[in-house]
Structures are given as C-alpha cells and as structure tokens.
Chain A
Amino acid sequence: MKMITAVIKPHKLDDVRAALAEEGVSGVTVTEVKGYGRQKGHTELYRGAEYNVEFLPKLKLEIAVTDEQVERVMDSIARTASSGKIGDGKIFVTDLDAVMRIRTREMDADAL
C-alpha cells in the first residue's frame, strides 16, 4: 500500500475529487495548507506599505491506495490538477505499513 500526498491549487479540488471517484478511490483527507515552491509568493500593498506574502494557500490531499492503484491515481491527479502554469503543486508517494478501519477493525486492503 502507498500513501499519496498531493499538494494542489485550491480551485482544482472538485475536478480532482471527481477523477479520484472514477478511479475507485474511496476516501480522501483534505487539509488547507500554506507553502511555497517555485511559484514563490506575491506582494500586497496597503497605503504604500508593501508586504511580501511568501506562503500561498494550497490544499493537501492524502489518499491511501493499493499498490496497483498508485500509477493511475497519480495520473488522474496530475491530469486534473494541472493548469500548465507554475504553482500547480506536487505529488508525493510514500510506503504505507498498515491501515485499520476503526469501526470493524478490518486491516489493510479491506480497510481502504
């Protein structure tokens, strides 16, 4: 099993969510985050006072999947979250040791 962590532009969430459903992904955790990458930030100006906003708002999606799903899920996220411009985000994949559904105590693939 793998944990896919995707950082995307906030307004892409609905498209990504629909694509994930098509791939049979049954659960996603979404967190509002801030950060910077190549996009850097932007400046704001209030009565002549200039502020550099270095951390931009993004959404972090955490998706636990089986090994067979990884490539197709990564592909659908990349396809739907892309605008072709700098700042579209990144996808990280890490190993996942175990999963348990709390209500039934089912483990691993059964718990996804």
Chain B
Amino acid sequence: MRVAIFSRGAATWVAGCLLLGLGVPIAALAQTAPVLNSGDTAWMLTATALVLLMCIPGLALFYAGLVRSKNVLSVMMQCFAITALITVLWTAYGYSLAFDTTGMVAGETNVNSFIGTLNKSFFAGLTRDSLVLGIPESVFATFQLTFAIITPALIVGAFAERMRFAALLAFIAGWFTLSYLPIAHMVWSGPGGFLWDLGVIDFAGGTVVHINAGIAGLVACLVLGKRRGYPTSAMPPHNLTYALIGASLLWVGWFGFNAGSAVAANGSAGMAMLVTQIATAAAALAWMFAEWVVHRKPSVLGVASGAVAGLVAITPASGSCGPAGALAIGAAAGIVCFLASTKLKRALGYDDSLDVFGVHAVGGIVGAILTGVFAAASLGGAGLPEGVTISAQLGKQLIGVLVTVAYSALVTYVVLKVVGLITPLRASDDEESEGLDLALHNERGYSL
C-alpha cells in the first residue's frame, strides 16, 4: 500500500485515513525507502501527454470553432501562449507554491495550509533520482503542470472575441499565481492542506480546475462587458467541425486527466477511466435529448457540449464513484448545464461567449456535490471515510465549492481591476468589429 503523503487522489486519501486510523504513525511510513515503479511511471508519462493534448489542440480547436472566423486565431493564440507562459511560471515558482509541503502539519491550519514555500523554485533539489509516489518527481511535476496549463486556458472562452492580448497575458499570470496555485495547494498538496484536511473529495480537479476557471470566466465576462452587438446581432460558431474535433480530443485526453490522477497504473485508475467514459456518454445524450425536446432538433454543438459537461462533472468523482453513480452524475450534468447555458444565460443577460460558466462552473458544482453522494459504498462508490455519513460528506463538499467560488471570484475581480489600471482590458470598438486576428495579430485564419 502506497503512503498517502503526497497523493492528490481521494482513494489514496481514504487509504491514508484508514492507515492513520490503525494507529500507524505517518512519520514511520514516510521513512519507508521509496522505490520507482516502472509501470506507474510509464502510465504517468502517457497521462501527462494526454492532458497536454486536451489544451493544445483540443481546447484550442473547441474554442476556435465556436467563435466567428475573424477571431479564430485569437483564441488559438491565447490557448497556445498560455501553454508556454504557464510552463515558464511553473518552473520559476508555480510548482513550488502549489506542491511544496514545507511547514505543513496534518490537521493543523497554518500559512502553509494555503500556499507552499519557494523552496522548490526552479525545481531546486529535483534530480533524476527524485521520487514522488513511486514515480520520478520530474514526471509528477510535468503532469501537474498540464493541469495548471488547461485551467487558465479554459477561462478564455468567457471573454473570447474582445480581450486584448497583452491584458490577457497579464491577467492569466496574475490569476494563475493568486487563484490556481493556492487552491491547488489547499486541495492537493497533502495532509495539512486546508481543503485536504477538511476531507473534501476532489479526485482530479472539480474545484481546483473547473469551478475555479468557471467562476473566473463569469466574473471576467462581467468585468469586461458584452461583445458589441450582443445579444441582438448574430454571432454563430464559424466551424462546428473544429468544435467537434476539439471536444473529441478533450474526451480522449480526459482519460489522462482523470485516470492519471490516481498517480498509479492500478484499479483506481482503471475505475476512473470507466466512470469517465460512462458519465461523458450519459451527459452527451442528456443534453442532446433535452435540446431535442426544448428546441425540436438535436444539434452537433449540443451533443459535444453535453460531453464536455459530463467530463467536467465526473472529474471530482472519478476516484470514488461507481458506474451507476457515473450514469447519474453524467445525466444530471447534461441537463443542468444545458439549462444553465441556454435559459439561465438568456435570463441573466451576461455574455459568457463560449459558456465557460455554464459548462465548467455549473458542471463542476454539480459534480462536486454529487461526489459526496456517490462516493458512498451503499451507492456503488469506493466508500466514504470511516464514520462519515453522506450528509456529512455533502457538507464538506459544499464547503469546498463555496471556498473555491468565493476565493476565485474575489481574486479574478481584483486581478482584472489591477491589470486594467496598467493596460486596457478590451479591444477598441474598431478592433472588435475588424476581428482580433487582424487587429491584434496582423494575421487571418483563412486565406481562401
């Protein structure tokens, strides 16, 4: 049995609790000489590549297809540049602030429950022989980096077609530093982490990635304001074939995201893969049928959006729920996200261009809450920690959601306001009507 000091997985977290419950001192466990597991390492190398594939080209294509043709390059550029920018920041300080465990004590809340130190800046101390959970720390750090990349990239869909590129880079750097890193640390860094100690189950990133990015998207689109002409003039997606290819790459890559979050090639990873597939399919059908009933036609955009909603919702639950739970979580996410992205958005009038809030925040919240239900052994899940009832776990899940929502909203607002003091956030009216591709990048996507 692996020692759950550094794991991000709920299953290993539960195992860790059980070990503690048996009275095994964690210090003694930590002294067991770590050995590299080549099977786990091979899988994690693969999973890392899969998660990177989700952002480029998966998310880039998904978003590119949904904007108008004059802005196709701008969203692809944003996804690609964020991939590079976050990698450099991760090297400089990101990995250290998120995953350094200095000063953390299980059950004790101190400053290091919220953020790591800079001890591992520029991967200080990381060598070929450094191991984390039986895999090279280099692989662990790169795997975690790919999550740090896709999370801010998800946000760009909310203010697509109107944000200036310079302001975007500044915002993303600030948001990554002040929102992503602390929340990743609180949830995933191990015993002593604020939300870890609370017992919030977030296997692969429902709070850290999806609620965090989805709320940031909502706040950002409110701060930036609507696109010119929204919602009276037509802004239809320019290439749904791109969007479908992108959604498909997200689906495939998500096996790395969820099954990789076991940080092992084991039964937990296998079950994560199975429930991911089931929930995604259920959500795709749920959205498609809901749309068929409400709008009379099943659409490509609908079935693809439903799949993404299912992937989002199963993310926190993928280490703890069973196949039946996955069906329920997927179906719920498909319908709720459909309503959020069509009815709620219309009713409230905000211009979340590509429905980052409606799919990622709403799907993430549905998933985070239902994780507390379907983790229960009686509902086919892996089982809640000893003595924790479903309602008690629901309370913990809710706290995890609320902390993430409040913190992400606050940080997003402050960072945007500060960046706005330095450089304008929005493209000018002329630039917006010309299209960001030509106005900001001097290029166009299509010369046909």
Q: How large is the interface on B (under 10, 10 to 19, 20 to 34, 35 or more residues)?
A: 10 to 19
The answer on a CB contact under 8 Å between A47 and B341 is yes
Instruction: Give complex CA distance A51, B299 in Å.
Output: 15
Number of A-B residue pairs at CB separation under 8 A: 30
Q: Which residues of A contact B297 (CB under 8 A)?
A: 45
Q: Decide yes or no whether A24 CB sits under 8 A from chain B.
A: no
Which residues from chain B sit less than 8 Å from chain A, CB to CB? 231, 234-237, 295, 297, 299, 301-302, 305, 341-343, 345-346, 355
Chain A interface main SS type: strand
Report Cα–Cα, A45/B235, bound state, in Å: 11
For A46, the chain B residues whose CB sits under 8 A away are 236-237, 299, 301
A32 within 8 A of B: no
3 smallest CB-CB distances across A and B, nearest first, come from A48-B342, A51-B234, A47-B341
B301 nearest CB neighbor, chain A only: A46
Evaluate contact between A44 and B345: CB separation under 8 angstroms. no
Let me know if A86 is at the binding interface, CB within 8 A: no
- Measured CB to CB, the nearest residue on chain A to B342 is A48
Whose C-beta in chain A lies nearest to the C-beta of B294?
A48
* CB neighbors of B among A46-95 (8 A): 46-49, 51-53
The reply to whether A48 and B234 form a contact with Cβ atoms under 8 Å apart is no
B residues near A48, Cβ cutoff 8 Å: 295, 341-343, 345-346
For the complex, what is the distance from the CA of A45 to the CA of B237, rounded to whole Å? 10
Residues of the B chain whose Cβ atoms lie less than 8 Å from the Cβ of A52: 234
Contact of A44 among B236, B341, B346 (CB under 8 A): B236
Report the minimum CB–CB distance from B81 to chain A (whole Å).
Answer: 27
Separation in Å of the A33 CB from the closest CB of chain B? 17
Contacts of B295 in A (CB 8 A): 45, 48
Convert A12-56 into 0s and 1s, putting 1 for each residue whose CB lies closer than 8 angstroms to a CB of B.
000000000000000000000000000000001111110111000
Closest to B344 in A: A48
Number of A interface residues at 8 Å Cβ cutoff, please give it: 9
CA of A47 to CA of B346, assembled, Å: 10
Most-contacted residue by chain B among A44, A47, A48 (CB, 10 A)? A47
Report the minimum CB–CB distance from A44 to chain B (whole Å).
6
Q: Give the shortest distance, in Å, between A41 (CB) and chain B (any CB).
A: 11
Q: How far is the CB of B379 from chain A (nearest CB, A)?
A: 32
Report the nearest B residue to A52, measured CB to CB. B234
Option from A47, A51, A53 in Cβ contact (under 8 Å) with B305: A47
Measured CA separation A49–B226 after assembly (Å)? 15
List 25 interface pairs A-B (beta carbons < 8 Å), by A numbering: A44-B236, A45-B297, A45-B299, A46-B236, A46-B237, A46-B301, A47-B302, A47-B305, A47-B341, A47-B345, A47-B355, A48-B295, A48-B341, A48-B342, A48-B343, A48-B345, A48-B346, A49-B231, A49-B235, A49-B236, A49-B342, A49-B346, A51-B234, A51-B236, A53-B234
Across-interface contacts of B355 in A (CB, < 8 A): 47
Contacts of A53 in B (CB 8 A): 234
Residue of A44, A45, A52 with most partner-chain B CB within 10 A: A45
Q: How far is the CB of B400 from chain A (nearest CB, A)?
A: 28
Distance between A78 CB and nearest chain B CB, rounded to angstroms = 33
> CA of A22 to CA of B242 in the docked complex: distance in angstroms?
43
CA–CA, A45 to B341, complex, Å? Answer: 13
Determine if A47 and B342 form an interchain contact, defined as CB atoms under 8 angstroms apart: yes
When chains A and B are docked, how far (Å) is the Cα of A45 from the Cα of B234? Answer: 10
Least CB distance, A12 to chain B, in whole angstroms: 24
CA distance A106 to B341 in the complex (A): 64
